[in-house]
Amino acid sequence: MTPWQERRRAYLAMLRVEFANATHYRATFLVFALQSTMPLIMLAVWWAATEDGPIRGMGPGDFAAYYLASLAVRQITASWLVWGMNGEIRGGGVMMRLMRPVHPFLAYSAESLAQMPLRLLAALPPMIFALLWLGSAHFTRDPLLLGLFLVSLAGAWLCEFAILVTIGTLGLLVESSIAIYQVWLGVHALLSGYLIPLTMIPEELRGAVALLPFRYLLSFPIEVLLGSLSRGEALRNLGVQWAYAAGFLGVALAVWRAGLRRYQAYGG
Amino acid sequence: MPAPAGAPAIEVAHLVKHYEVHHREAGLLASLRSAFSRKRESVPAVSDLSFQIAPGERVGFLGPNGAGKTTTLKILSGLLYPTSGRVRVHGYDPQHREAGFLKSVSLVMGQRHQLYWDLPPVETFALNAALYGVPEDTFRETLGELVELLSLQGVVEKPTRQLSLGERMKCELVCALLHRPRLMFLDEPTIGLDVEMQVIVRTFIQQYNERFGATVMLTSHHMDDVTALCSRVIVIDHGRIQYDGDLGALVRRVCPAKQLVLKLAQPVPRERLAARAEVASLTEAQATLRVPQEALRTVIPQLLAELPILDLSVEDPPLEQVLRELFAGASPLGGPAA
């Protein structure tokens, strides 16, 4: 076997085992489906607020399309990685992971990707409901933009994964990185478009928010799907998103190397 | 970079490891103080350790709790960075975590597991085979052998959480050996196991070492593990080597007296036994005496002539006693053995 074939065999094996692990508890699917209810709550709020007239050009149907897409995208990109990593580091389980001849980031990515079929099952109902209820008018029908949406979804997943694995790795440097993760969740909710569409942010702040990477974790794929961006704008932003992904991965690897030097391998 | 042929499996030179420990007293005030200002202390775990282990050796790494055994094992397996010193395993620097190094070693920790809790062990076996690049046919053959040797038929298909501790330990050994490592680090491998399982695990490790020439480095508080498996021991205390050499020589140096175990036909007063030798223990049916090696030829005939003895055996003192006396300072060694 060539080294490439060996690596492919190893990764496929990790995906297979992690999928078996994820599907062991059939209730896991329900947990995924029920964990992201905030978009539905915000949908109800904005629906009521715009019944008498649109706000910043968005009416009830626009908010419905936005939040249902947000629900679906968040299902794909969310992960419990930070909790798992902190548990392993504090409990000592990470030691056995470090003894394997595969970088732990690859193992963590396999764990996250193996949950994707279940997450897709949870993400599809809101999208199908959105299409049946609202029709396709609120979504782009441009095949190129639909293709770019899928690429931007992958980019959003990669950015989120790199950031989460960095936060999890901080557990090697501090006693627990869960508090850092909680802060991250709060900032993410506000600046990624999860709580409110970024077009609702005051004009004076929108420029600064656009410079931050949070938009590329959620709002950007939604903007592509809803046809809010032209082809050129979508392609340009896609370049920025994947540059962020590469940068975040680089930071994650550097933090991991630094963390390993400080790691004290708790436990017997 | 792999080591040339004939090189030691393990080389350690002037290894030092300090841990940074956060001190905090009990109580609410102490908790509040700790939120703003933390007192940290550097605790030495290993101080200037140097030794070499040849390929195929079985070495016991002994010492009291907190001596630095597990810390040393973790540094050798690449889990910890040393504070200073040089470490090479099969020619690799463990901290670089190269694939060649990780594929050549295995770590079995009695209190840690790599099996997936909710899945049958056979899933983890297949995963490890893929991760370590074990060809499919070799994996099937090796797995079949290991399952046979450890009597795991019918066990490996059950979820790990439904296995007994002994079955889980055997499956952990299979996991650790599927890729035929050249070096096994065993940290308390028999902890929590019953006597029968301890014997099975020891026998298996010995057979693996003899068949594949794998190097074994073992830490254990079960001295039977050490006496059964290791002819060489490295004794460590307060992070320093106290002894490095033959196990038998250690026993003779620390406790030169032999143990005479007498099975008695009827109770014997302690004074009658004490007249001939030091009495280590005495019950109605058995007496254990300590006798210098050179006095055995005169003491044994006297005891046989004077006492109602059903059976008599001459034994080395148990390793637990040897180490107790060593760490209590009762029998100084005067430096590490050559």
Question: From CA A31, how far away is CA A21, in angstroms rounded?
Answer: 15
The domain locations on chain B are: 52-250, 256-315
SS3 assignment, position B15: strand
Tokens found for residue B310: 């059903």
For chain B, what is the radius of gyration of the CA atoms? 24
CB burial string B188-209: b at 16+ within 10 A, e below: bbbbebeeebbebbbebbeebb
- Measuring CA to CA, which residue among B184, B187, B168, B167 is closest to residue B176? B184
Is residue B257 within 8 A of residue B248, CB to CB? The reply is no
B16 — pLDDT class (breaks 50, 70, 90): very high
- Residue A58's φ and ψ, nearest 5 degrees, are -110, 120
- Measuring CA to CA, which residue among A40, A24, A25, A110 is closest to residue A75? A40
What local confidence, expressed as pLDDT, does residue A114 receive?
92
Q: Is residue A142 part of a domain?
A: yes
Question: From CA B121, how far away is CA B130, in angstroms rounded?
Answer: 14
SS3 assignment, position B128: helix
B152 — pLDDT class (breaks 50, 70, 90): very high
Q: Is residue A267 part of a domain?
A: no
- A1 to B127: CB separation less than 8 angstroms, yes or no: no
Q: Which of residues 78-107 of A touch B (CB under 8 A)?
A: 92-93, 95-96, 98-102
Fold held by B52-250: Rossmann fold (3.40.50)
The answer, for A26 touching chain B at a CB cutoff of 8 Å, is no
What local confidence, expressed as pLDDT, does residue A266 receive?
61
Q: How does DSSP classify residue B11? A: E
B83 — pLDDT class (breaks 50, 70, 90): very high
- Measuring CA to CA, which residue among B334, B335, B244 is closest to residue B51? B244
Tell me which chain B residue has its CA closest to the CA of residue A258.
B81
Question: What is the count of residue pairs from A and B with beta carbons less than 8 Å apart?
Answer: 87
What local confidence, expressed as pLDDT, does residue A267 receive?
54
| Structural element, H or E, at residue A249 | helix A231-262
The region of weakest confidence among A24-28, B65-69, B99-103 is A24-28
Q: Could you tell me whether strands B39-53 and B10-23 are parallel, antiparallel, or unpaired per DSSP bridges?
A: antiparallel
Q: How does DSSP classify residue B193? A: -
- Residue A201's φ and ψ, nearest 5 degrees, are -70, 140
Question: From CA A156, how far away is CA A162, in angstroms rounded?
Answer: 10
Q: Which of residues 95-114 of B touch A (CB under 8 A)?
A: 95, 97, 99, 102-103, 105-107, 109-114
Mean pLDDT of A109-126: 87
| Structural element, H or E, at residue B242 | strand B240-246
Residue range B256-315 in CATH 3.30.70? yes
Model confidence pLDDT, tens digit, residues B288-333:
999 988 888 899 999 999 999 999 999 888 777 788 777 776 545 5
Tokens found for residue B221: 């508080």
The region of weakest confidence among A18-27, A199-208, B149-158, B238-247 is A18-27
The answer, for A260 touching chain B at a CB cutoff of 8 Å, is yes
Is residue B290 within 8 A of residue B298, CB to CB? The reply is no
Q: How far is B274 from chain A (nearest CA, A)?
A: 44
Tokens found for residue B207: 């057979």
Tokens found for residue B263: 């099975």
What local confidence, expressed as pLDDT, does residue A29 receive?
66
A26 — pLDDT class (breaks 50, 70, 90): low
Question: From CA B109, how far away is CA A97, in angstroms rounded?
Answer: 13
Question: From CA A256, how far away is CA A180, in angstroms rounded?
Answer: 16
What local confidence, expressed as pLDDT, does residue A148 receive?
97
Q: How far is B5 from chain A (nearest CA, A)?
A: 23
CA B245 vs CA A78, B230, B233: distances in Å: 56, 11, 6
Model confidence pLDDT, tens digit, residues B210-230:
999 999 999 987 888 888 899
In the predicted structure, residue B336 carries a pLDDT above the cut 70: no
Amino acid type, B64? P
What local confidence, expressed as pLDDT, does residue A157 receive?
97
B140 — pLDDT class (breaks 50, 70, 90): very high
Question: From CA B213, how far away is CA B201, in angstroms rounded?
Answer: 17
Our CA angle for B97, B98, B103, nearest 5°, is 100
Is residue B128 within 8 A of residue B178, CB to CB? The reply is yes
In the predicted structure, residue A245 carries a pLDDT above the cut 50: yes
Q: How far apart are the first and last CA of chain A?
A: 37
Number of structural domains in chain A: 1
Is residue A199 within 8 A of residue A205, CB to CB? The reply is no
Model confidence pLDDT, tens digit, residues A44-72:
999 999 999 999 989 999 999 999 999 88
What local confidence, expressed as pLDDT, does residue B337 receive?
45
In the predicted structure, residue A115 carries a pLDDT above the cut 50: yes
Tell me which chain B residue has its CA closest to the CA of residue A263.
B80
- Measuring CA to CA, which residue among B228, B179, B233, B222 is closest to residue B204? B228
Mutate to test the interface with B, among A96, A253, A256, A262 (most CBs of B within 10 A): A96
What local confidence, expressed as pLDDT, does residue B201 receive?
87
What local confidence, expressed as pLDDT, does residue B27 receive?
79
For chain A, what is the radius of gyration of the CA atoms? 20
Tokens found for residue B331: 């029998």
Model confidence pLDDT, tens digit, residues B249-292:
888 888 888 889 999 999 999 999 998 899 999 999 999 999 98
**Residues facing B43 on adjacent strands:** B19
Is residue A182 within 8 A of residue A83, CB to CB? The reply is no
Tokens found for residue B73: 């094992």
In the predicted structure, residue B163 carries a pLDDT above the cut 80: yes
pTM score above 0.90: no
Question: From CA B313, how far away is CA B309, in angstroms rounded?
Answer: 11
**Residues facing B262 on adjacent strands:** B287, B312
Count H helices and E strands in chain A, helices first. 13, 0
Q: Which residue shows structure tokens 């190129």?
A: A144
B121 — pLDDT class (breaks 50, 70, 90): very high
The answer, for B178 touching chain A at a CB cutoff of 8 Å, is no
What local confidence, expressed as pLDDT, does residue A126 receive?
81
The answer, for A265 touching chain B at a CB cutoff of 8 Å, is yes
The answer, for A25 touching chain B at a CB cutoff of 8 Å, is yes
Q: State the average pLDDT for chain B.
A: 88
Count of CB atoms within 10 A of residue B318's CB?
15
Question: From CA B287, how far away is CA B274, in angstroms rounded?
Answer: 11
Mean pLDDT of A93-120: 92
Question: Max alpha carbon distance in chain B (Å)?
Answer: 77
SS3 assignment, position B314: strand
| Structural element, H or E, at residue B175 | helix B165-177
Q: How does DSSP classify residue A194? A: S
Question: From CA A33, how far away is CA A128, in angstroms rounded?
Answer: 14
Tokens found for residue B243: 């002894």
- A267 to B112: CB separation less than 8 angstroms, yes or no: yes
| Fold match, B52-250 / B256-315 | no
Q: Which residues form the domain of A185?
A: 3-262
What local confidence, expressed as pLDDT, does residue B335 receive?
46
The region of weakest confidence among A78-82, A198-202, B104-108, B196-200 is B196-200
